[in-house]
Chains A and B, each alone.
Chain A
């Protein structure tokens, strides 16, 4: 209530604080701190929105919440607690999603400044668009571990949140998950899919059975035919097997869920099915194992001679121990028992929902992932570690949140006074930079990206997409909604004006299952997309490519210059990025020499020949990579992520067409819903460098 006491704040600031109307988006780790700072500073007109409820694991940092509040609305409890600090404040709390159509541009226009404290990119993108449209200054913040970031987004002055491309969520091709896992995360994703197959909402592209349509195995079949040898190609296999492959290659297991139920969830039968029979099936696709180590099936009876017994619950509590194979089997049996009991109690078509904080669900995934890891000779992990990976947990701590929220509200002071020069982005770090700083303001405002597909006038993107394998529904859900963050898009074909996708329910339902190419959406076609709610229009230029085995099926290219072949237009880092790098990292000018030469090494790392698109979501990883490349001492505690060096899609050789009808299933690890997801644009410059290095070859 500083503004309520004359003489505490300078008079102009005091008046502005008293009369300003502020929106806080998110009442989590940063939001709680922001709200406290606002009421104590003397803001009296505050609205706060959050759709989440309070969880026990929030209480170590979201200090407006206590044990008795678990399960209640974050926004409402935050309001109550903040009012006890300053009863004179007026706070309106919304227990709701900020992307709901109730909060349109007119809602945002009411505010003098918006402070966002969100935990996921989709909502951040949305709030960015709303604030740009409403022309309200937005102070965007994020933390991840010891790292924090605050930046101002103001139309016409700064970059918008979407001016720089964000690293995509890490995703994996279906055949890696189903046939050829090579990392613990592959087995963890598979185990989550197995959970869903048995108890969860059944998703078609989460099949866990061997994928007989794996192009690599098929190539082998073709080769085998050519050379006249009998081979042991999947086709031959299918005839012998009682489970024939369908046209899309999925082995028909007449409803895994029903089969498991008919077996009375017999632990031994299920275990043998998933970890013995299916593995034997995979072994017969011998081409897969020519250059890989072949999996070794395991058998229930040899593992647990005396059956499962009752050790499971006790073992499951040893979360930091790496369970032996036998221990995994015990935990599996116990989790299966609990989950099946819970599942059978459900009514109608209800299903269980996998949750990292649900004991048996997490036990099940940890046990199954480790058994599969054992089979494929992949390192096994403790339940604690698996929870981090399966739940995509980005650790958050009270101190970083407090520091970040403090900077956020100090920036709000500057915004209200229109002291724009004082509003440069600030980064909080664990370790000192070359100038002995760890709270590091940027040296200047990076200019808005003229090709930004959100804040540029007449925004357009190029979409590389396999039009022969992507259906209209997937185009809407995966590309427009999940990737381009629209809420309710309308799409028309520019040349003909025909409606491809309508935001009116049911109007274009008949198109949904058709492939883009069936609808004549082929190379060169321009689509006009319009999201009325976001007041957002975007042109999409389709660029067809034939996806290979491990390719993802589409990629958004925001800057069309990127499509230029390498030798026609060599991409060179401009002078600016290096100075920007200095701004972001606060390094001394003298540091630039060595790090420039080392940066080329970084590019090589990113040009990893691994041809599936594996990009980290977490900016921490970037930080890690950069720091390590510069041979500096990097953050100590990000062990959870350091073993996944950043990789970027680089394989761009369109080659032969696959006649596969099925849309290749790409598995995404979704945002965790309860964590502050990381500094949003930590390394602006770093990203640009990445782009510069990421040269795309088009034959």
Chain B
């Protein structure tokens, strides 16, 4: 089985240079040489260069992928300075993707990094087809559904992700995904009459898993009676995601710190309509403005780690909805549309 892994990595035809071996030494010790070679060939799209986009971009560039496309048609605002560290203060009012280029390139000169400023709605299959992994930040559900469908047709790995204030999530649309997982077991190595001794044996196992489409999340009923026990156990994070996506599609914007109190009231209204008597407190709704750096770091770290898993085909990517609760710092995975 291990041979298979090595063989398929050889197909990439990549050999790391001495400089790469040296720079990536520590991570190669964790995920192995073959994984690093796979990263070396991966092309990644990061659409939406808000704070979360910047965090994912940073981690992915550091990991040593081949190419990163920074895509955004929005401009740098004051709000971005809460977490978008790739855009300098002076870039206020400039395009966010272009404003991020200089610092992004400085993170790792070995990665090919460029910007694209065309609106997401104008991007078609031709564009997405250039990438192995597509990450979309801050888009509407309609847009996410459209891109997920394109990615499913092309076999491109798709991530939808967002952070509102301190709360965040990601949705993984990986279609059919194959990966290798090391199963470790204990083997008795002592002779029958001796004291028992063990040795660990690690066996790589190939697995294949189906990921449902984004429409499954849009159709998911959080009020379903058989879901209530789980909802109570995992907390109101999933309700919060619904409320926020609903706010975005209703008002064509996100809650704004400039209209903080009014927007909290709007959120409360949506909450009460969607899920009456929910455990989602108004205090929590006060934590949803701009993008707060430490929470963005957590979600951006998780999403980047998922991209690395997908590219290296090592370890199981989360299937399929990840939710981060900033108050408890609990991060869990909800299976949506998985049988």
Q: Are A56 and B26 in contact (CB under 8 A)?
A: no
Which residues of B sit under 8 angstroms from A624, Cβ to Cβ?
A: 184, 200
> When the two chains form their complex, are residues B302 and A403 in contact, meaning their CB atoms are under 8 A apart?
yes
A693 to chain B, nearest CB (A): 14
Please indicate the chain A residues that have their CB under 8 angstroms from the CB of B88 in the complex: 84
| Contact in complex: A609, B89 (CB < 8 Å) | no
Instruction: Select one of B58, B297, B332 contacting A37, CB under 8 A.
Output: B297
A399 and B304: CB pair below 8 A? yes
Closest A residue to B283 by CB, please name it. Answer: A10
Binds B, one of A196-204, A223-231, A431-439: A431-439
| CB closest chain-B residue, reference A437 | B332
Assess the A6–B257 pair: CB atoms within 8 A: yes
Complex Cα spacing A645 to B187, Å = 11
Assess the B297–A403 pair: CB atoms within 8 A: yes
Chain B residues closer than 8 Å to A395, beta-carbon distance:
26-27, 29-30
B333 touches A436 (CB 8 A): yes
Chain A 391-417, CB within 8 Å of chain B: the 1/0 string?
A: 001011111111101111111010000
Q: For residue A639, which residue of chain B has the nearest CB?
A: B202
Contacts of A8 in B (CB 8 A): 79, 82, 165, 257, 289-290, 292
Measured CB to CB, the closest approach of chain B to A110, in angstroms, equals: 23
Tell me if B305 counts as interface (CB < 8 A to partner A): yes
Nearest to A145 among chain B residues (CB) is B30
Take A629-B186, A637-B31 as given contacts and tell me if A41 and B200 are in contact as well, using a CB distance cutoff of 8 Å. Answer: no
Interface stretch (choices B115-123, B138-146, B214-222, B323-331):
B323-331
The yes or no answer to A9 lying at the interface (CB within 8 A) is yes
Expressed in whole angstroms, the minimum distance between the Cβ of B16 and any Cβ of chain A is 10
- The answer to whether A633 and B329 touch (CB under 8 A), given A60-B23, A388-B29, is no
Q: How far is the CA of A607 from the CA of B293 in the complex (A)?
A: 46
Which A1-16 residues have a C-beta within 8 angstroms of B?
A: 1-2, 5-10
- A317 interface contact, C-beta 8 A: yes
Q: Name the CB-closest residue of A to B334.
A: A436
Among A146, A398, A625, A638, which residue has the most Cβ atoms of chain B within 10 A?
Answer: A398
Nearest A-chain residue to B198, judged by Cβ? A605
Q: B79: which A residues are within 8 A, CB to CB?
A: 5, 8
Question: Which residues of B sit under 8 angstroms from A659, Cβ to Cβ?
Answer: none
- The interface bits of chain A over 130-168 (1 if a CB of B lies within 8 angstroms of the residue's CB, else 0) are 000000000000000110001000000000000000000
Q: A631: CB under 8 A from chain B?
A: yes
Q: For residue B335, which residue of chain A has the nearest CB?
A: A436
Q: For the complex, is B294 an interface residue (Cβ under 8 Å from A)? A: yes
Q: Which residues of A contact B183 (CB under 8 A)?
A: 633-634
Task: Give the shortest distance, in Å, between A530 (CB) and chain B (any CB).
Answer: 39
Q: Are A438 and B331 in contact (CB under 8 A)?
A: yes
Q: In the complex, what residue of chain A is closest to B263 when comparing beta carbons?
A: A7
- Which residues on A sit within 8 Å (CB–CB) of B83? 2, 40
What does the 1/0 interface line of B33-59 toward A look like (CB < 8 Å)?
A: 100000000000000000100010011
**CB–CB A37/B293 < 8 A:** yes
B185, A628: Cβ atoms closer than 8 Å: yes
- Check B109 against A441 for contact (C-beta < 8 Å): no
How many whole Å from B307's CB to the nearest CB in chain A?
9
Q: Which of A36, A85, A439 contacts B298 (CB 8 A)?
A: A439
Chain A residues near B170 (CB, 8 Å)?
Answer: none
Q: Does B269 contact A (CB under 8 A)?
A: no
Q: Kindly provide the distance from the CB of A424 to the nearest chain B CB, expressed in whole angstroms.
A: 8
B196 lies within 8 A of chain A by Cβ:
yes
Interface residues of A in 68-106 (CB under 8 A from B): 84-87
**B229 → A minimal CB distance (Å):** 13
Closest residue to A414 on the B side, CB-wise? B327
- B233-272, CB < 8 A from A: 233-234, 256-258, 260
Which chain A positions have C-beta within 8 A of B81? 1, 40, 86
CB <8 Å contact, A609 and B195 = yes
B181 at the binding interface (Cβ < 8 Å): yes
B232 at the interface (CB under 8 A from A): no
B18 is an interface residue with CB less than 8 A from chain A: yes
Question: Separation in Å of the A612 CB from the closest CB of chain B?
Answer: 15
Q: How far is the CB of A662 from chain B (nearest CB, A)?
A: 31
Interface residues of B in 137-183 (CB under 8 A from A): 165-166, 180-183
Q: List, in ascending order, chain A residues with CB within 8 A of B335's CB.
A: 436
Q: Which residue of A lies closest to B304 (CB)?
A: A399
B89 CB contact (under 8 Å) in A36, A61, A87, A635: A87
Interface-central residue, A9, A84, A426, A636, by most chain B CB under 10 Å: A636
B131 at the interface (CB under 8 A from A): no
B301 CB–A CB distance under 8 Å? yes
Partner of B290, one of A5, A436, A438, A640: A5
Q: A86-B81, A437-B332, A624-B200 are in contact. Are A398 and B63 (CB under 8 A)?
A: yes
Q: How far is the CA of A688 from the CA of B204 in the complex (A)?
A: 32
In the complex, whether A320 has a CB less than 8 A from a CB of chain B is yes
CB contact under 8 A between A636 and B333, given known A37-B294, A320-B33: no
B134 CB, min distance to chain A CBs, angstroms: 19
Residue A290 is within 8 A (CB to CB) of chain B in the complex:
no
- What are the residues of chain A within 8 A of B106 when measuring CB–CB? 66
Residues on A with beta carbons closer than 8 Å to the beta carbon of B199: 643, 645
Residues of A within 8 A of B318 (CB): 432, 438
CA distance A319 to B29 in the complex (A): 12
Place the interface of chain A in its size category.
35 or more
A40 contact from B33, B59, B293, Cβ within 8 A: B293
Tell whether A407 pairs with B294 under 8 Å between CB atoms, given A1-B82, A57-B25, A402-B59: yes
Q: Name the B residues within 8 Å of A57 (CB-CB).
A: 22-23, 25-26
CA of A431 to CA of B333, assembled, Å? 11
- Which residue of chain B has its CB nearest to the CB of A86? B81
Q: Are A5 and B82 in contact (CB under 8 A)?
A: yes
Partner of B184, one of A409, A430, A438, A633: A633
Query: Given the complex of chains A and B, what is the CA–CA distance between A63 and B314 in angstroms?
Result: 24
- The 0/1 profile, CB within 8 Å of B marked 1, for residues 613-636 of chain A is 000000000001101110101111
Q: Which residues of B contact A441 (CB under 8 A)?
A: 328-330
A240 at the B interface (CB under 8 A): no
What is the distance, in angstroms, from A83's C-beta to the closest C-beta of chain B? 11
Task: Check A604 for interface membership: any CB of B closer than 8 A.
Answer: yes
Query: Does B287 make an interface contact (CB < 8 A)?
Result: yes
How far apart sit A438 and B108, CA to CA, in the bound complex (Å)? 29
Whether A9 pairs with B292 at a CB distance below 8 angstroms is yes
Residues of A close to B82: CB separation below 8 A = 1-2, 5, 8, 40-42
State how many angstroms separate the Cβ of B21 from the closest Cβ of chain A.
7
Tell me how far the C-beta of B201 lies from the nearest C-beta in chain A, rounded to whole angstroms.
Answer: 9
User: Could you say which residues of chain B place their CB within 8 Å of the CB of A548?
Assistant: none
Q: Give, as a whole number of angstroms, the nearest-CB distance from B66 to chain A.
A: 16
Q: Is the CB of B293 within 8 A of A36?
A: yes
The answer to whether A440 and B23 touch (CB under 8 A), given A8-B257, A60-B64, A633-B183, is no
Q: A5-B290, A398-B63, A407-B294 are in contact. Are A393 and B29 (CB under 8 A)?
A: yes
| Residues of chain B contacted by A397 (CB below 8 angstroms) | 26-27, 30-31, 63
Is A569 close to B, CB under 8 A? no
- B300 interface contact, C-beta 8 A: yes
A1 to B260 Cα, complex, angstroms: 17
Cβ–Cβ < 8 Å partners of B109 in chain A: 67
Asked if A206 CB lies within 8 Å of chain B CBs, one says no
Q: What is the CB-to-nearest-CB distance from B3 to chain A, in angstroms, rounded to a whole number?
A: 16
**Interface residue? A45 (CB, 8 A):** no
Q: Say how far A428's CB is from chain B's closest CB, in angstroms.
A: 8
Task: Give every chain B residue within 8 A of A399 (Cβ-Cβ).
Answer: 59, 63, 301-302, 304-305, 308
A642 interfacial by beta-carbon distance below 8 Å: yes
Interface pairs (24), CB distance under 8 Å: A41-B82, A41-B293, A41-B294, A60-B24, A60-B26, A393-B29, A399-B301, A402-B298, A403-B301, A410-B294, A410-B295, A410-B298, A428-B331, A432-B332, A438-B332, A439-B330, A441-B328, A608-B195, A624-B184, A628-B184, A635-B182, A636-B204, A640-B29, A642-B184
Seed contacts A5-B257, A61-B27, A396-B30; 13 additional CB < 8 Å A-B pairs: A8-B257, A37-B297, A397-B31, A403-B302, A406-B293, A406-B297, A437-B333, A439-B331, A629-B186, A635-B184, A636-B204, A636-B314, A639-B182
